[in-house]
Amino acid sequence: MKTVVSEKGQVTIPKVLRNRLGLQPGTTLDFQDDNGRLVATKVLGDSINSAFGILKSHRSSDEIMEQLRGPTKLP
């Protein structure tokens, strides 16, 4: 399969390859030069770091835990 480099240095990865390799919008690729060959490797993200900050809350963690567990009983 062939593709053309655009004026901005962009290329389109053929759909067959995107599907086969599971490349979706937002997938990060790492590019390497291997003796004149361009090699792209899909970067596998850390699921915890990729989800960090995804949930927005204006409550403190103590308030959330109290809602989940109920009020703290002190002696």
What is the CATH number for 25? 2.10.260.10
- pTM for the structure as a whole: 0.54
Per-residue pLDDT of the chain (75 residues; tens, 9 = 90+): 899 999 999 999 999 999 999 999 989 999 999 999 999 999 887 666 666 666 777 888 888 888 888 877 766
Residue 52, domain member (yes or no): no
Which neighbouring-strand residues pair with 42?
A: 29
Residue 16 lies in a domain: yes
Helix (H) or strand (E) holding 31: strand 29-34
Nearest CA to 12 among 40, 46, 51?
A: 40
Residue 29, φ and ψ in degrees, nearest 5: -115, 140
2 belongs to a structural domain: yes
Q: How many domains does the chain have?
A: 1
Give the span between the Cα atoms of 6 and 12, in whole angstroms: 9
